[in-house]
Chains A and B, each alone.
Chain A
Amino acid sequence: MTNLFNKKMKRWPAWVVMLFCVVALMLIGTQRDSGPSTPQERIESISQRLACPTCDGESVYESRGAASQAIRKEIARQVADGQLTDSQIVKAIDDSYTADLKLVPGGTGFDALIWILPIVLLVVAIAGLVVVFKRWKTQGSLTATDADRDLVETALRQVSENRDS
């Protein structure tokens, strides 16, 4: 009875209900995605996109150094000013330094390679898998020879003898 109930429950209507629930919940969740809710959180978010100009590979967000404090102050000033978007603030601060402070490489020129290469690798890997699976499919399963069958029979006999003894 339980098994039958279990089987009936797992039929396609239950999966459709599940899918509906997932879509509905995702819609509810993503609709209220509001990003940074306070000016302070906006400052933190922007500071995560800029490198500290004087540190060992830290972002402005991570660094406690004087240069990062100065950049954070500038971000706070821009945020309070309310004139620029986050990306414009990042660009303005990056432009004011000779070093490249952006932590995300650009999507053009040589820097674009960092974005393209992983995608190329993914495409090659998927294509490779498709080719390999096709080859495996056409190759088919190996057929057991009489010698193989003898080997298996001997092994099974030994196992049952060991168990009996």
Chain B
Amino acid sequence: MLAVSINAAIGRGAILLGLLTCLSGIAITVAGIRKHDLRALKSAPRYAYLAFAAALLAFIMMERALITRDFSMKYVQQVGSRDTPALFNFTAVWSALEGSILLWLLALTGLIAAVARKFRARVGDELLAWAMVVMFVVGLFFFLLSFGPANPFAMGALGVNDGPGPNPLLQNHILVLFHPPILYVGYVGFTVPFAFAMAALITGRVGEGWLLETRRWTLYAWGFLTVGIILGSWWSYEVLGWSGVWAWDPVENASFLPWLTGTAYLHSVLVQERRGMLRVWNLSLVIATFSLTILGTFLTRSGVINSVHAFSAGSVGPWLLTFFAIIVVVAIFLVGRRGDQLRSPGAIDSPLSREGAFLANNVLFSIFAFVVLLGTVFPLIVEALNNRRIVVGEPFFDRMTMPLGLTLLFLMAIAPVLPWRKASQEVLRDRLFWPAWCGVGALALSVIVGADGWASLAAFALGGFAAGAALRQIALASRRQGWRGVVGRANGGMVVHIGVIIIAVAFSASSSYTRTQEFVMKVGETVTFADHTFTFEGLSLESDDVKTSVKAAIRIDGDSVYSPARSKYIKQGMDIGTPSVKTGFVNDLYITLEGNVRTTDTEARIKIFVKPLIMWLWIGGALMALGTVLAAFPGKRRQPTAPVSADSVLTQSTTDEHV
């Protein structure tokens, strides 16, 4: 074994190269802007490509180190193992802090390179040049993290020939390959609108230009974050064994916070594009969204908050907190400096208008984000000020966010049918009539199938109402534009709405109507629960190099056999339960094997959860992803002279609608 690993040497060299590249990129671009030197500005994309190449090389060297089992490296000693299967050995890169930062760097520099390539013909534009500078600064920070406190290429103790491998929870499901990278692309994606927003503030070009430049980038970032969160829920459901999809855990909240502010931004940006209003608000939302990705990373990677999803803690806390503080201070200073230019001359004529609904939507999303942030950091505040440890969990979040969620569903029903500027009573009556009956229909159906509880019933009714409004918009758009009726921002947005509604209804049903029963079953015994029969056919032992698993064979309804298991991971000594799920459109049958079991046992504790509508959570997520893609496609171009606002009150009731 070499005293210095070739993987570590090249990897560290690549990180240093990336760091110096970002530094040079900042210096050259700033000098180019100051001296109006087009040649210098034209070189900026090359620095972006080189930074990406450096991050890619570092990532490859880390993969090579894990694949070749280079146990001279500390990180490989920590997460590598000779026995880990190839897939989980590949994903082990992002199974702890240092590797996660490496993956973050790869996604970030890839994005910076993509932006540089997209805008390469316009690098002389000062706005774009400053945006590149801001992105280089963010890149520099993460290269610094990787070079300093989160160095993945540090050398380990001598004489180590094997390691424990990744956390067992990170090596028993295929989603470990998809969830973290997709989520990270979502996180870093918000760097682009943030960079353009800062560039707009620096250059004073605070009009709508930067919004239009970053529209699709923001949409893609939001889409990736959405898919990342949904996949995380799915993974949690399939792996953790408590049958839930969301527990308001700090790591979950860290991903949800930028999603909330990002969603608010995607709506309020329409008001600025159409009416030139809410400039400060939109800038604040973009800055908040980016800052929250950094704050969330601090909360979950610094070790200040414990989470079952964190898998790592390190010394990056002060760095991330400092970077967060710098972003906030600089952003506030820049917004303050451009105060006069950011004032909008327009006015929102009526709360009963599209822009009024967007404003209400933004207020609700902001309060939602505040509640989630407060609940997440409150234990820290109490500990710091009162020297007391408290836990804030699911019941608090459920109680506080439920009314907000229901009001947002109501707004989702109202907003799509509202015209810009002002809506008359006649228009509202006309456009909301059938969607409202859809809500009543959904409520009636819920009552017929036995639903109870006012909150769930309200969610189903409002879900039906909102779905009616979204379907009405799609139907009207399709009638006018044919297949293009589902393409474009407004129409794709309605598909996203339908996805959100399906998730809201499925989440409400699965939270409220889960039925659970634990049975101690003898081999050969059959029990009946929730109109299904479960026969315990015995226990079996399976073992490989990594784990020893005891599996229970449960035959459901005399048909297929499902095998919940308990696995002992040999090197970590951890006992992990793995549920087995029979998936259906109406109910999932989720089975777990409880307690300590041996294959010689003649009985076992089997827990059965009947979870309604779970599959619809994933279908809703897929629809949200599809809607995002459809929204990114250019819709039918509106004639510049076509009306975009409500007609005068006198003619409103007689005209057809225009969205």
Contacts and interface: CB of A to CB of B under 8 A. Distances in A.
Contacts, number: 163
Give the interface size class of chain A.
35 or more
Contacts of B391: 51, 57, 100-103
A33 B306 contact: no
A153 B200 CA distance: 30
Nearest to A140: B347
Contacts of B451: 29
B396 A105 contact: yes
B241 A133 contact: no
B351 to A, nearest CB: 6
A10 B433 contact: yes
24 contacts: A9-B433, A10-B429, A10-B430, A15-B429, A30-B454, A34-B452, A40-B518, A48-B394, A56-B310, A61-B242, A62-B308, A101-B391, A103-B391, A103-B394, A104-B393, A104-B396, A110-B385, A117-B370, A118-B371, A125-B363, A126-B363, A132-B348, A136-B347, A139-B347
A16 interface: no
B311 to A, nearest CB: 10
Given A40-B517, A56-B307, A118-B400, A105 B349 contact: no
A99 B379 CA distance: 13
A109 B515 CA distance: 37
A111 to B, nearest CB: 7
Nearest to B382: A110
B651 interface: no
Nearest to A136: B347
Given A105-B378, A118-B371, A118-B400, 19 more contacts: A9-B433, A18-B437, A21-B443, A21-B444, A33-B454, A44-B516, A51-B393, A57-B250, A62-B242, A100-B389, A102-B390, A103-B395, A103-B396, A118-B374, A121-B367, A125-B363, A129-B351, A141-B349, A159-B640
Given A30-B454, A62-B244, A133-B348, A14 B641 contact: no
B144 interface: no
Contact of A57 (B308, B346, B360, B437): B308
A137 B349 CA distance: 7
A41 interface: yes
Contact of B374 (A100, A117, A125): A117
Contacts of B461: 22, 25-26
Interface string B502-540: 000000000000011110000000000000000000000
Contact of A25 (B347, B443, B594): B443
Interface of A, secondary structure class, is helix
A142 B346 contact: yes
Nearest to A59: B393
B652 interface: no
Contacts of B242: 61-64
B367 A55 contact: no
B306 A56 contact: yes
Contacts of B443: 21-22, 25-26, 29
A56 B386 CA distance: 21
A22 B310 contact: no
Contacts of A105: 378, 390, 392, 396
A28 B447 contact: yes
Interface in A31-78: 32-34, 37-38, 40-41, 44, 48-49, 51, 55-59, 61-64, 69
Interface in B236-259: 240-242, 244, 247, 249-250
A104 B392 CA distance: 6
